[in-house]
């Protein structure tokens, strides 16, 4: 061997490679894995007063229609002292006003797009005609306007609005386009619940962000197959927020307006709270909980009891979402965030106990279901078919109830959102749904390898040519094609063709 030194060198080189390369790769993976968990829990200096989005009650037209104006525009905002970030917002730099209307009212929203590109405005959770829904078919070109009108015909609820342009929803929402749309009704108004907007009834719009010099850093990091995951939390556009409260009972309307991150909300001191509402409105009776998990698009209304002079911190804890070791870490499951500090005044306005009964559930129980459909969630597409603008995937009959069985056939987190209809979660993996899923829902988390059964009723109106959407609300997944379209038709009618698209 000594006679062929080049061979010895070669063998030594190969041996080194065999040892070093895996060690290097292993080292990198460990480094990336270790660096992937974020925690701001317990280390937040709550220095900014929580902003409350302005309440827009609109103007009443002589015929009684409530008219709102929304302009989508570019802006700049100082989230951090002396550093401006380029943003998008409705009627302002970031987020939008809270729209508010009452059941039975006719509303009209004059949407103007002053952005440099086309977008749409979708009313998430709203029961309304498909042509007013603001999905990817109701595009508003740059400089153009769109004026949807409909009648509010559903129970009091915390809904929201955001853009829905096909393939670009994640980026449009990330830049700041989102707002709340609160609905009231006679029943909710008759209950003694904290209901003074911005005082004892606080909007809590939760988003994760990452900043660069003058903008948001919206890049997806390695292995984050959920989509964008940020490192800091904004609540109503405020970093490290606190809010002073002056009542014993405080209602928080939690909205997960993040594009991929799932939150597991709880108080740092582990106090319990009452869950009073889910996506579609009030639950039948207050439910005492110490955790509520929300995936993107979901809402929860909770009521927390405060003692004079104390402070408590709303937090997001590591997820209990059935994710495997890898996804738990790389989909943000191990992250912990301080969300909002509540500071109680030295003397608090006394509040009566919560009512024992809140509202009757308006979602069907599935007993009269006309049919059952199956949806397999996969990043490649729902039932393995990516979204196509010119293909209607399902036709449902107006007035009928259906059972939709949704299975996460993927290793990664997904959820499922249906436009127009609220649903009841009948079961999760064959068992009764957990308490936070017992109210009306329009978005539900579906853990890897699990199945949810939903009952929904399609109350129309029929429009065979204009589809509603169903999709994963992790918005990058939606943009990748995890979306399908359904139309509502009269009995016996066939689906038409979506107007002005495809071919
Ligand atoms: Cu919140 Cu189809 O969207
Ligand atoms: Cu929606
Ligand atoms: Cu998904």
Q: Is the pLDDT of residue 210 over 70?
A: yes
Q: What is the DSSP string of 231-289?
A: SEEEETTEESEEEEEEESEEEEEEEE--SS--EEEEETT---EEEEEETTEEEEEEEEE
Q: What is the model's pLDDT at position 503?
A: 37
Residue ID of nearest Cα to ligand 1 atom 1:
124
pLDDT of residue 15: 85
Cβ atoms of residues 71 and 91 within 8 Å: yes
The length of the chain in residues reads 503
* pLDDT at residue number 3: 59
Q: Give the pLDDT confidence score for residue 501 in this predicted structure.
A: 54
CA 162 to ligand 1: nearest atom? 1
Q: Which whole-number Å values give the CA distances from 171 to 85, 157, 232, 418, 492, in the listed order?
A: 15, 27, 17, 21, 40
State the pLDDT confidence band at 5, using cuts at 50, 70 and 90. confident
Which residues are found with C-beta within 5 Å of the ion, ligand 2? 124, 419
List C-alpha distances in Å: 417 to 125, 300, 308, 456: 9, 15, 40, 12
Mean pLDDT of 457-466: 94
Which of 463-479 are b and which e, b meaning 16 or more Cβ less than 10 Å from the residue's Cβ? bbebbbbbbbbbbbbbb
Pairing of strands 337-349, 241-247: parallel
Terminal C-alpha separation, the chain: 70
User: Given its phi and psi angles, is residue 215 left (phi above 0), alpha (psi -120 to 50 degrees) or beta?
Assistant: beta
Rounded to the nearest whole angstrom, what is the distance from the C-alpha of residue 101 to the centroid of ligand 3? 31
Ligand closest to CA 128: 2
User: What are the percentages of helix, strand and coil residues in the chain, rounded to 5?
Assistant: 10, 40, 45
> Residue written as tokens 């660069």?
212
Task: Find out whether 293 and 263 touch, Cβ atoms under 8 Å.
Answer: yes
Q: For 207, how many CA atoms within 13 A lie in the half-sphere containing its CB?
A: 27
- Rounded to whole angstroms, how far apart are CA atoms 9 and 16? 10
User: Which bound ligand lies closest to the C-alpha atom of 162?
Assistant: 1
> Ligand 1: residues whose CB is within 6 Å?
122, 124, 162, 164, 297, 417, 419, 469, 471, 473
Please report the pLDDT score of residue 221 as a whole number: 84
CA 430 from centroid of its chain's CA atoms: 25
- Rounded to whole angstroms, how far apart are CA atoms 425 and 432? 9
Dump pLDDT digits (tens) for 360-383. 999 999 999 999 999 999 999 999
Question: Is the pLDDT confidence value at 74 over 70?
Answer: yes
Residue 46 CA to ligand 3 centre (angstroms): 33
415 CA distance to ligand 3 middle (Å): 6
pLDDT confidence of residue 502: 44
Q: What is the mean pLDDT of the chain?
A: 95
pTM of this prediction?
0.94
pLDDT attached to residue 156: 98
| Structural domains present in the chain | 48-187 (2.60.40.420), 201-349 (2.60.40.420), 371-489 (2.60.40.420)
pLDDT of 1: 47
The alpha carbon dihedral of 447, 450, 455, 458 has a sign of positive
Token output for 88: 């998008």
Q: Residue 288 pLDDT more than 50?
A: yes
Q: Of ligand 1's atoms, which has the minimum distance to the CA of residue 297?
A: 1
131, 102 in Cβ contact below 8 A? no
Q: Look at residue 64 and give its three-state secondary structure.
A: coil
Q: What is the average pLDDT across 336-365? A: 97
Lowest-confidence segment of 29-38, 81-90, 107-116, 287-296 by average pLDDT: 29-38
Closest-CA residue to 259 (of 320, 177, 321): 177
Kindly indicate the confidence band of residue 500, based on its pLDDT and cuts at 50, 70 and 90.
low
Sheet hosting strand 157-162, strand order edge to edge: 55-56, 98-102, 179-184, 157-162, 122-124
Q: For residue range 382-427, what is the model confidence (pLDDT) as tens digits?
A: 999 999 999 999 999 999 999 999 999 998 999 999 999 999 999 9
- In this structure, are residues 127 and 459 in contact, taking their beta carbons and an 8 Å threshold? yes
């Amino acid at each position: 061997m000594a006679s062929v030194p080049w061979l010895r060198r070669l063998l030594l080189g190969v041996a080194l490679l065999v040892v070093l390369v895996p060690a290097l790769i292993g080292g990198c993976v460990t480094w990336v894995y270790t660096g992937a968990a974020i925690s701001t829990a317990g280390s937040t200096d709550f220095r900014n007063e929580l902003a409350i989005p302005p309440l827009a009650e609109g103007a009443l037209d002589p015929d009684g229609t409530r008219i709102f104006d929304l302009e989508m525009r570019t802006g700049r905002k100082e989230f951090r002292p002396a550093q401006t970030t380029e943003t998008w917002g409705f009627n302002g730099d970031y987020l939008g006003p809270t729209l508010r209307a009452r059941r039975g009212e006719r509303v009209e929203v004059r949407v103007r797009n002053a952005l440099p590109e086309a977008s749409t405005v979708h009313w998430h959770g709203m029961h309304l005609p498909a042509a007013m829904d603001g999905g990817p078919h109701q595009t508003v070109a740059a400089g153009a306007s769109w004026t949807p009108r409909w009648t509010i015909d559903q129970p009091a609820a915390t809904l929201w609005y955001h853009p829905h342009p096909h393939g670009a929803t994640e980026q449009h929402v990330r830049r700041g386009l989102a707002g709340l749309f609160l609905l009231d009704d006679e029943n909710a108004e008759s209950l003694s619940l904290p209901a003074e907007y911005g005082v004892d009834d606080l909007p809590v719009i939760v988003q994760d962000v990452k900043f660069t010099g003058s903008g948001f850093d919206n890049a997806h990091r390695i292995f984050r197959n959920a989509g964008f995951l940020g490192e800091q939390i904004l609540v109503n556009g405020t970093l490290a927020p606190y809010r002073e409260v002056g009542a014993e009972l405080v209602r928080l309307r939690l909205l997960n307006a993040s594009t991929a991150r799932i939150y597991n909300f709880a108080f740092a001191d582990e106090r319990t709270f009452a869950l009073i509402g889910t996506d579609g409105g009030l639950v039948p009776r207050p439910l005492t909980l110490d955790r509520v998990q929300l995936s993107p698009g979901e809402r929860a209304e909770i009521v927390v009891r405060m003692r004079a002079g104390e402070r408590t911190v709303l937090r997001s804890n590591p997820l209990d979402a059935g994710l495997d070791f890898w996804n738990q870490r790389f989909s943000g499951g191990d992250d912990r965030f301080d969300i909002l500090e509540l500071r109680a005044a030295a003397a608090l306005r006394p509040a009566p106990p919560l009512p024992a009964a809140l509202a009757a559930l308006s979602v069907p129980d599935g007993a009269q279901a006309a049919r059952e459909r199956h949806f397999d969630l996969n990043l490649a597409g729902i039932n393995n078919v990516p979204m196509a603008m010119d293909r209607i995937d399902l036709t449902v009959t107006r007035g009928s109830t259906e059972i939709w069985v949704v299975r996460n056939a993927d290793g990664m987190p997904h959820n499922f959102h249906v436009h127009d209809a609220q649903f009841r979660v009948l079961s999760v993996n064959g068992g009764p749904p957990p308490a936070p899923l017992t109210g009306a829902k329009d978005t539900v988390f579906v853990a890897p390898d699990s199945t949810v059964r939903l009952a929904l009723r399609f109350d129309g109106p029929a429009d065979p040519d204009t589809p509603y959407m169903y999709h994963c609300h992790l918005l990058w997944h939606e943009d990748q094609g995890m979306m399908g379209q359904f139309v509502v038709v009269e009995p016996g009618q066939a689906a038409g063709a979506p107007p002005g698209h495809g071919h």
